[in-house]
Amino acid sequence: MEPVQCFARRVGAFPGLVSWAADLIGVQSPANLLYLGVIFILILKQFTTTIKLSKMDRQITELTQYIALHEAPAKNSLD
């Protein structure tokens, strides 16, 4: 389940909780707190996606180097 969907379901299950949290934090409107929460979740999701992409890019580079080092001698011996 997507993080935003999970957040929306929990907020929907306890609507008074958003009003209480908005009053506690000092946010003027509970809707503003919801927007802030969704923006925060989306930023975290983008951050984790960037980390995964960087890891995959590093793995592709390492795989390319491994293939180049191990297949080059085989091709040179056939020539």
Q: For tokens 């995959």, what's the residue? A: 56
Do residues 18 and 30 touch, judged by C-beta distance below 8 A?
Answer: yes
- How much is the pLDDT for 8? 79
Rounded CA-CA distance 15/10 in Å is 9
Instruction: Report whether pLDDT(1) > 90.
Output: no
Please write the tens of the pLDDT for every residue from 21-78.
999 999 999 999 989 988 999 999 999 999 999 999 999 999 999 998 888 776 666 5
Reported as a single tens digit per residue, the pLDDT across 8-17 is: 788 788 888 8
Residue 79 pLDDT exceeds 70: no
Claim: this prediction has a pTM higher than 0.95: no
